[in-house]
Amino acid sequence: MSVCQRCGRELTALDIGAHRKFVNRGSTSFFCKTCLAAWLGVPEALLDQKIEAFQKQGCTLFVQP
């Protein structure tokens, strides 16, 4: 399993999907959702809202295994 390149936390599929959606679809190393929100300068709750909206739209980056 992958770990956050910033804090070392184990990543979830949603963490990886969020990094690919908001940073770079071709990324091979990732931030966890908390570190990604800090890096983007937005509240983590906003990322949660965006992820939920993309899931409802059928975005395949946010499919739960």
Kindly report the pTM of this predicted structure.
0.89
Q: Is residue 7 part of a domain?
A: no
Q: Is residue 36 part of a domain?
A: yes
Q: Is residue 2 part of a domain?
A: no
pLDDT, tens only, 35-45: 999 999 999 99
pLDDT, tens only, 3-29: 999 999 999 999 999 999 999 999 999
The model's confidence at residue 62, banded by pLDDT at 50, 70 and 90, is confident
Question: What does the block give as tokens for 26?
Answer: 């071709």
Q: Is residue 24 part of a domain?
A: yes
Alpha helix locations (H) across the chain? 13-22, 33-40, 44-56
Q: Is residue 6 part of a domain?
A: no
Q: Is residue 8 part of a domain?
A: no
Q: Is residue 1 part of a domain?
A: no
Whole-number pLDDT of residue 65: 60
Q: Is residue 49 part of a domain?
A: yes
Expressed as residue numbers, the domain containing 25 is: 13-62
Whole-number pLDDT of residue 64: 65
Cα(58)–Cα(28) distance, integer angstroms? 23
Domain count, the chain: 1
